[in-house]
Amino acid sequence: MYGLFTAQNQNWFEDIVRPLNLPLAYDISHAFISFKGDNRLLLEQIEKLDSYIQYFHVVDSKGQQHDGLQLGTGKINWEPILPFLMNRPYIYEINLKDITAAVEMYESHLYLLHLSKHTYF
């Protein structure tokens, strides 16, 4: 059994999202996990869904389970994804060691800023 909007349901976009023109909130790590850590499949799906994605959940992962990692510490290749993030709202969904100090989120933001200065798009 799988969810309606998961990668295991290969027709979710063609049968549901496209006909209804649904806007999407796209969770990058969940998609990466559903693609078993395949960065190529992740980028292909983001490119395919580009005009439907309104909002991103941004968190790194090793691609096996929901691990909520700080950006740059997992296996997601952020450089090709960065141009898609720059024109949309997003939120960091990172596990925090201390919920009163969002250090991992701050460091993740610095990581994206560093990438944006070195990525030409």
> Tokens in use for 62?
């090793």
Least confident of 6-10, 11-15, 32-36: 6-10
Classified by CATH at the fold level, domain 12-118 comes out as TIM Barrel (3.20.20)
Secondary element (H or E) of residue 92: strand 90-92
Phi, psi of 115 (to 5 degrees): -60, -40
pLDDT in tens, 63-74: 999 899 999 999
Q: What is the pLDDT of residues 33-54, one digit of tens each?
A: 999 999 999 999 999 999 999 9
In this structure, are residues 92 and 105 in contact, taking their beta carbons and an 8 Å threshold? yes
The ranges assigned to domains in the chain are: 12-118
Dihedral angle sign, alpha carbons of residues 101, 54, 50, 32: positive
Q: The whole model's pTM is what?
A: 0.88
